[in-house]
Copies of this chain bind each other. A is one copy, B any other.
């Protein structure tokens, strides 16, 4: 069963590969739509730093910005997460399958000692 799953966008992983951004994702998951200033306080960093992180997340399409008056609200856009989860799970499963085949092959080459009548 050759995998049909296409390779995911590395930018999504890269975007998730930073603790600050991971925390932003968690925050947005909990609280929904928040403007940059709100997302900034509590963290020890500047608003501009947060803005950069958000733009990385936006580039990976993990987050969507909508302007409301003078503020910009960020919300999670979880489609990439879904794709990433599917890929990771597929790789995991496929690897298990390969190991099983390898196992079967090795068993055939070196049948285990003491098997009992025909399986024990």
Contact = CB atoms under 8 A, between A and B. Distances in A.
Interface of A: 3, 7-8, 10-19, 22-23, 25-26, 29, 32, 76, 78, 81-82, 84-86, 88-89, 91-92, 94-96, 98, 102
A51 B52 CA distance: 31
A76 B102 CA distance: 14
Contacts of A78: 91-92, 95-96
How many identical chains are in the complex? 2
B91 A29 contact: yes
Contact of A89 (B11, B23, B82, B94): B82
A47 to B, nearest CB: 22
Contact of A10 (B11, B19, B88, B98): B19
